[in-house]
Every structure is written in C-alpha cells, then in structure tokens.
Structure 1
Amino acid sequence: MSDVDGLFAKAQEDVKQLPERPGNLTLLRLYALFKQATDGDVHGDKPGFTDIVGKYKYDAWAALQGTSQETACQQYVELVESLKNGTAA
C-alpha cells in the first residue's frame, strides 16, 4: 500500500466524520473523485432524464475523464482535508 493509498483510505473514513454535511456540489466532487480513483474513467450508459441525481453523478464523473487514478486519490484527500479544516470553497 503506497502513501497515497493510505491517505485515501484515511480520507474515506474522515469524510464520514465531518462536523457538517458538505453542499451538493462538494458532494458531487467527492463522488466523482472517489469513482475516478477507484474505477477509473466513466463507463456504462448515462442515466436518462428521469434519473436527475444519477445524471449529475455521471456527468461529474465524466468530467474527470483522463485523470489518473492516483491524481484523483490525491485530489480527494486534499478536498477532504480542506473540508476538515473549514477551508473548502
């Protein structure tokens, strides 16, 4: 397990312990970074217009197309740290 993997695993635990729930856009960013880090580039069919939440999740993940899994891990860790410190935008 590399340092990035260890930090990523810790960030996954830390995000569950945040003092307050992040906003919807931040949650989408966390979701997309997590999916990119664990599954790589987006795959599967895009949800239809009746699945609005699924469509937003798919689009957020698709926006990271081509981002390496390691980079996505690092960005996820950085975002969780900024949420913990209260410095997230």
Structure 2
Amino acid sequence: MDLGIAGRRAIVCAASKGLGRASATSLARAGVDVLIVARGAAALEETAEAIRRDTGGTVSTLAADVTTTEGRAAILAARPDPDILVNNAGGP
C-alpha cells in the first residue's frame, strides 16, 4: 500500500523496542527518512541497523530522553522540521 509519504522526514521517540520500533520500521519501509530516538545508545544502534537491513531505508539515531527539556531540544536540533512525529514515550 502506498501511503504517499515517501521522502518525508520523521521523528520516532522511544524507538528502540515495542511500538516505537514497529512504527519506525513501517515508516522506513514506506520510504520515510526516520530519526529514531531512545535513551539507550547501544539498543538504539542495534535497532537502527536492523531496520536498515530489513527495509533498506534511511535511519538516523539520537540517544536522548524525550521527557526532558534538554532531550527535546537535542531532538529538534537534529531534525528541526519533521513531517511526521511519533510522540511515543516508554514507561519508567
């Protein structure tokens, strides 16, 4: 199914596992340039590599905490004009 979103730019928060990872994978598969964000850098890099391998898509990473002011500033500095935001935040 063509969603008409190829070439768009997305931010997916809490993307190293679960709903965030699934969302990022689906977006990458649809041709979206995806920035995945999570607190744990190692898990984030593993996730990005898996998504790239599975989809052939463009996936960037940023280790940041979306629940903090500093984290949100870093995310917007890395991707200032996103077309798509998946505002997911993992639990404690």
Regarding TM over 0.5, the answer is no
Query: Which structure dedicates a bigger proportion of its chain to strand?
Result: 2
Normalised by the length of structure 2, the TM-score is 0.29
Query: Which structure dedicates a bigger proportion of its chain to helix?
Result: 1
